Structure 1
Amino acid sequence: MTDDRSQDRPRRIVVVGSLNMDLVLSAARCPEAGETLTGHGFAVHPGGKGANQAIACARLGAPVAMVGRLGQDGFAATLRQGLLDAGIDADAVGTDPSLASGTAMIIVEDSGQNRILLAPGANAALSVAAIDAEAERIAQAALLVLQLEVPFACVERAIAIAADAGVPILFNPAPAAALDAGLIAKIDYLVVNETEAALIAGHAVIDRASATIAAGILLSMGARHVLLTLGAEGALVADGAGVRHYPAFPTTVVDTTAAGDTFIGGLAAALIEGATLDRAVRLGMAASAICVSRPGAQPSIPFRAEVVLAD
């Protein structure tokens, strides 16, 4: 949890997470088992939840450093350059010469929905020792951002380092996984979608009412703020001030890839600027609405100048 030491540290976000190359095929719909369909578009884009969130934080106005692993292959140079082009400190993104970089196969339906299959590659080689080597970087962060596309032991260790140093923690437990209350109690901002919330809270999320119950359960498990994204239905925030619903910004959905990562980027960037949680949520939602109107993961993430909020 936060403490007074956070007031003296450099205002930089540290992201611990994955870097993947996304191989994206567009089609009217996903094939059924045993069925072959012809798609109508193919593209290769840098992605990975960790890198997407780092890029989103940077484009939306925050200084960022990333901790992760790449393989020794052609994808690695492109993924690293994407971070550097965004102004991200990639010194803690190591290279494993024995592995390929992470890869994601993504089918995007004409409805805008997507289905993703991951090959973790070098992401799975990130070690607790590597996290310990970056302990000072993490302990000096203004905010630590994490997901679950790297080994869970690395996530636990990074959270422990940040909690001990009084660094605020934003945790997006995706892909969905069960978590214990002891870990959740260290989290300042728990960001989940319906699937993740249902699994962790043990309560199905099918509408706004059930989302409110699930958010309350997660809050009771110790998280300081719970942010539950609901797609076209917007988002819920539960904290000591109660539960608030934020309607989604109007948009035309082309591809939902990286929508949640963009929301987190806007949220995190605004928070380290000292914005209220209300404004930070609205910035994240506005940025996400732009993201889903464009194809691809990182190519779809907007820059801060594109995101306009009414005061």
Structure 2
Amino acid sequence: MTARNEEAEGWILVIGSVNVDLVLSVVRHPEPGETLAGTGSRRSPGGKGANQACAAARLGGDVRFAGRTGIGADADLALDLLRDAGADLSATDQMPDVETGLAVVTVDEAGENSIVIIPGANGSWTPEHVRELGDAVAASDLVVSQGEIPALAVDQIAQLCATTGTRFLLNLAPVIDVAVSTLATADPLVVNEPEGRLALTALTGDTAPEEDAGTVRGLREAGVRSVVMTRGARGALVSVDATTTEISSPRVHAVDTTGAGDAFVGALALGLARGERVEDACRLAVRVGAYSVTRGGAQPSYPRPSDVLPG
């Protein structure tokens, strides 16, 4: 690992996806079968794992990122802002025989997005690759992963965390077919509204309630240690023990919602690694997420400690 930041109090290991984002700006999203002229395009670093690592590192966290890319210009672009943020990339591998992951993001004038992902090197993760990170997991205060790498790899991350006693934050986005034991290890499980309902149905086999609080309560009753449900402009719901707390988000004018959930997770991870209560870490996370939507792109929109957060 790189030299530790003296002001930081906890090591964060993020294991997950790294992409190049191709962002297309449109007045509105096209209908099926429709050809629509866009208003602009840009390429920038992305991927949920890299985004979350970058968000935590930009805020001053000690972050090690384990990802997999191809080689060449796309790999350099995908990792550029992580390097700039000071993240340790010694556990990130470049694969000569696969392409770097790609996300095609369409953003309309209201700031809402739709995303299509080509996994590329992110899909090459195996349980064996994860086991090679055993020492890094044991040395970390918090491990973070997401649903953009294969489910078997995520299951292995959860097993390593259970064995080493390392806290595991799982952002089940997108929802993939991980083991029940993986969901039970997550502390917290972070989902948005539809992801939460899908996860609850996967756990119980029953249709999840439409009410967000009911879904969160159901996940806890199904054995998840703690749950954080992100709700966009409405903030988040946090369930720890038998209580559910609503965390409101500052009101802002959204320019681009791409990567806002990852900004939230990165800030949440930073607070948890520093020993904060989940509810307190979420209060910072909603402000960081709100800040990010007022600027374009994912990683380029994330704040640094000197930036003034809304709320």
TM-score w.r.t. the length of structure 2 is 0.92
What residue in structure 2 maps to residue 30 of structure 1?
A: 29
Q: Which amino acid aligns with 1:269?
A: L
Q: Give 5+ residue unaligned stretches, structure 2.
A: 1-8, 202-206
- 2:50 is the alignment partner of 1:54: no
What residue in structure 1 maps to residue 289 of structure 2?
A: 288
Whole-Å Cα distance in 2 between the matches of residues 96 and 179 of structure 1? 25
What residue in structure 2 maps to residue 157 of structure 1?
A: 156
What residue in structure 2 maps to residue 261 of structure 1?
A: 262
Q: Secondary structure at the match of 2:285?
A: helix
What residue in structure 2 maps to residue 98 of structure 1?
A: 97
User: Using a 3 Å threshold, how does the CA distance of structure 1 residues 180 and 124 change in structure 2: closer, same or farther?
Assistant: closer
Report how many residues are paired.
298
Whole-Å Cα distance in 2 between the matches of residues 26 and 292 of structure 1? 15
**Structure 1 residue 178: deviation in Å?**
4.8
Report matched runs for 1:142-153 at 5 Å.
142-153=141-152
The answer to whether the 8 A contact 2:200-2:218 is kept is yes
Q: Which amino acid aligns with 1:251?
A: V
What residue in structure 2 maps to residue 306 of structure 1?
A: 307
**Structure 1 residue 61: deviation in Å?**
2.1
Whole-Å Cα distance in 2 between the matches of residues 42 and 92 of structure 1? 31
What residue in structure 2 maps to residue 237 of structure 1?
A: 238
Q: Where in structure 1 do 4 or more consecutive aligned residues deviate above 4 Å?
A: 203-206, 307-310
Report matched runs for 1:167-246 at 5 Å.
167-202=166-201, 203-204=207-208, 206=210, 210-246=211-247
The more displaced of 27-36 and 96-105 is 27-36
Spell out, residue by residue over 1:170-222, the C-alpha distance to the aligned partner (whole angstroms, 9 max, x if none).
0001112355532211111110001100101124565xxx1011001111122
Q: Which amino acid aligns with 1:111?
A: A
Q: Give 5+ residue unaligned stretches, structure 1.
A: 1-9
Q: Which amino acid aligns with 2:284?
A: L
The answer to whether the 8 A contact 1:131-1:154 is kept is yes
What residue in structure 2 maps to residue 270 of structure 1?
A: 271
Q: Secondary structure at the match of 2:79?
A: helix
TM-score w.r.t. the length of structure 1 is 0.92
What residue in structure 2 maps to residue 5 of structure 1?
A: none
Q: CA RMSD in A?
A: 1.6
- 2:63 is the alignment partner of 1:64: yes
The answer to whether the 8 A contact 1:176-1:195 is kept is no
The answer to whether the 8 A contact 1:177-1:196 is kept is no
Report matched runs for 1:59-138 at 5 Å.
59-138=58-137
The more displaced of 109-118 and 274-283 is 274-283
The more displaced of 217-226 and 106-115 is 217-226
